[in-house]
Chains A and B, each alone.
Chain A
Amino acid sequence: MKLSSFNYLVRQGFDNVWKNRVMAFASFCVLLVSLMLVGISCLFYININSIIGGIENKNEVIVYLLEGTTDERVSEIGETLKNIPNISNVTLYTKEEAFDDLKKKMDDYTEVFNSLGNDNPLPDAYRIRVSDISLMEDTLRATEQIPDVEYVSSPDAFIEVLTESRRVLTILASAIILAMLIVSMVIISNTTRASVFSRRREISIMQSVGATKSFIRFPFFVEGMINGFTAGLFATLLTWFSYDSLVDLLGRFDILSTIGLGNVIPYGDIALWVTLAYLIAGSFIGALGSVLSTRVHLKHRAANM
């Protein structure tokens, strides 16, 4: 294909958007709604995930060492803990710190503590945090097997609830996103098919004067891509506006921190990815929908000739 023909077909695609503006507007609306349905479902999912992640990060496991463990051995155990996969943070909690904290917490019993003098009954310990609490059991097992570790304390019930919540949420969110995708694809496919069908006469004329299938399809491809891109752009703006408004509203009444869910992702952190995803998905779905519908129409026509 010559460059002049390529330019002509691209121009035709742009012209067709305006010439077939009613169907173009219908496709645009359908794409916009579909993109937003899927986009908002995804944003909802990643935010809930981030909130759960935030709660998970607050988990703390304490590894108590055997009484009498030498300082050198304590350091070695610290290194071993750092090398265990899934442990994200290791902090030494010396028996002196533990004793001081205990004294502060139980200040009514100062006399009892004073009677102990320098005799500290508490062991050295490590505070650790895990990256993925669903792997907590394996991590605890590995920790318990380190020599000189006496006991590992972890919030088992809390972890179980969180792991289960995340599992249910993942299944639920995947199902919603999948359902939205299917619904969107069906609506988009029907709209583009209707758009192509409304121009079947034009297509048949093009064929009768010897236009090849690719020559007929190309302007539809450009047209679909323009519709999709525009829908993506509007979806970005609408999502941005509604997301920010919602976060503002929740922030104004301090709703999220009140219920302990302060980890909503600020739009600025995800703006680039959301914009790119909307624009790419919009253009791709728009172009693909148009091309497939034209292809099906041409095939169907050829079969009926």
Chain B
Amino acid sequence: MVELKNVCVTYESTGVEALSDFSLKVEDGEFAFVIGRSGAGKSTLIKLLLKELDANRGEVYVNGYDLVKMKKHKVPEFRRTIGVVFQDYRLIDTMTVYENIAFVLRVIDAPMKQIKKRVPYVMSLVGLQDKADCYPSELSGGEQQRCALARALVNDPALLIADEPTGNVDPELAYELVELLKGINDCGTTVLMVTHAHEMVRHFGGRIINISEGEVVFDEVIGGAEIEAQ
């Protein structure tokens, strides 16, 4: 579960108030699109949820962790409960697809048996089973995105945050990716997808959270073209 209560975030260097009196609650197992213009506060929200940034005021709870009161040494443990897909993929260039995905399990000291079982499974889930030994530079944009998704999923996280995951792929792949995220959500993982692609949001429908100037200006469930068609 994600819950933010009256959160304020101001960047000291610029004095810009990125989030002001921001409140939001996303229940376990939900799928929500977070939309908004550039500079609306979406990236700040993600940084806040990943504990890369601290709130100046308010309360932030993610997966049962109180991020405001969290001690520094607890941060790695907390981050292991979240899977993140970044817009720029953030794959380690010197590691193969297999190693990039397995790295998350290495971090949590997972047994080799589990790594050998789980990594090929998530690779097949995203259709990368034949690319295990490839380096990120040898993959297409879509494949890199799927590798990033596999890495986010391998640890079976309670919350999956996707930051503009469709930003660098063609529309067809973008729709496939959201379908994949929807499928993951159906298995019980909470998914928070930040996007600019309003067209796609309208197509899929569901819970839409619109942020503008650091505030939630719209938060409703709408029926998408896909839903209406059903």
Contact = CB atoms under 8 A, between A and B. Distances in A.
A112 interface: no
Contact of A208 (B53, B84, B93): B84
Interface string A22-49: 0000000000000000000000000000
Contacts of B108: 210
Interface stretch (B75-83, B122-130, B169-177): B75-83
B87 to A, nearest CB: 13
A205 B92 contact: yes
A212 interface: yes
B94 interface: yes
A2 interface: yes
Interface residues of B, number: 26
A8 B106 contact: yes
Main secondary structure of the interface of A (DSSP, over half): helix
B228 interface: no
Interface string B68-105: 00001000111110001010001111100000000110
Nearest to B100: A205
A4 B111 contact: yes
Contact of B106 (A5, A16, A204): A5
A201 B77 CA distance: 20
B151 interface: yes
A201 to B, nearest CB: 8
Given A208-B79, A209-B79, A215 B107 contact: yes
B76 A211 contact: yes
Given A208-B90, A305-B52, A5 B109 contact: yes
B109 A211 contact: no
A5 B105 CA distance: 10
Given A16-B94, A215-B107, A4 B79 contact: no
A13 to B, nearest CB: 13
Nearest to A215: B107
A104 interface: no
B112 interface: yes
B133 to A, nearest CB: 14
A5 B104 CA distance: 12
Closest 3 CB pairs of A and B: A210-B80, A210-B79, A19-B94
Given A4-B111, A209-B80, 15 more contacts: A2-B109, A5-B106, A19-B94, A202-B92, A204-B90, A206-B103, A208-B86, A209-B79, A209-B103, A210-B78, A210-B104, A211-B76, A212-B107, A213-B76, A215-B76
22 contacts: A4-B112, A5-B106, A5-B109, A15-B94, A20-B94, A202-B93, A202-B94, A205-B91, A205-B92, A207-B76, A208-B86, A209-B79, A209-B84, A209-B151, A210-B76, A210-B80, A210-B104, A210-B108, A211-B76, A212-B107, A305-B47, A305-B52
Interface of B: 47, 50, 52-53, 72, 76-80, 84, 86, 90-94, 103-104, 106-109, 111-112, 151
